[in-house]
Amino acid sequence: MSGLSDVRVQIFGSGYRIASDTDPEHIREVASYIDQKMREVASALALSNRSKVAVLTAVNLADELFKIEEESRQMDRISREKADQLADSVTFTSRTK
pLDDT tens-place values along the chain, 97 residues long: 458 999 999 999 999 999 999 999 999 999 999 999 999 999 999 988 999 999 999 999 999 999 999 999 999 999 999 999 988 888 766 565 5
What is the extent of the structural domain holding 83?
5-96
Residue 35 contacts residue 11 (beta carbons within 8 Å): yes
Q: Which of 21, 60, 42 is nearest to 11 (CA)?
A: 42
With b for 16 or more beta-carbon neighbours within 10 A and e for fewer, the 71-86 pattern comes to eeeeeeeeeeeeeeee
Specify the pTM.
Answer: 0.77
Q: Which of 46, 3, 11 is nearest to 28 (CA)?
A: 11
CB neighbours (10 Å) of residue 34? 18
Overall number of domains in the chain? 1
